Amino acid sequence: MKQEVYQDYEPDYKPNSLNYLVDWVFHFNAYTEQWAAIPRETYNEYWNDYKNAGVLRSKNINTLFDLLHKAKGNVNAIEHILNGEGAE
């Protein structure tokens, strides 16, 4: 049996620079057609409260990867980027 791997998105990030992604869980909601990036420490709360603070949502998972890469996975830095203040 042949197993194929979907590799449509190949970022320019170096593998060692992706260590911050281990603290995030990604979920696709088929009803809203949105990806969610959930901080691992709030993962259980995500299933109880859809509007949980700190969860990032986008129609394109690449947008979430780019935000997480710019902020190195730091939720506070992501909030600064989204407010137009740049990463700290």
Q: How confident is the model at residue 16 (pLDDT cuts 50, 70, 90)?
A: low
The answer to whether residue 61 sits within a structural domain is yes
Q: Given this model, what pLDDT does residue 48 score?
A: 87
The count of structural domains within the chain is 1
Dihedral pair phi/psi, residue 29, rounded to 5°: -100, 110
Q: Given this model, what pLDDT does residue 37 score?
A: 93
Distance CA 15, CA 31 (A): 32
The answer to whether residue 51 sits within a structural domain is yes
10 pLDDT more than 80: no
SS3 of the chain: the string is CCCCCCCCCCCCCCHHHHHHHHHEEEEEECCCCEEEEEEHHHHHHHHHCCCCCCCEEECCHHHHHHHHHHHCCCHHHHHHHHCCCCCC
Residue ranges making up the domain that contains 28? 19-82
The answer to whether residue 9 sits within a structural domain is no
Residue 72: CB atoms within 10 Å = 14
The answer to whether residue 88 sits within a structural domain is no
The answer to whether residue 68 sits within a structural domain is yes
The answer to whether residue 45 sits within a structural domain is yes
13 pLDDT more than 60: no
Tell me the pLDDT tens digit for each residue of 37-81: 999 888 888 888 878 878 899 999 999 988 888 888 888 888 888
The answer to whether residue 42 sits within a structural domain is yes
The answer to whether residue 11 sits within a structural domain is no
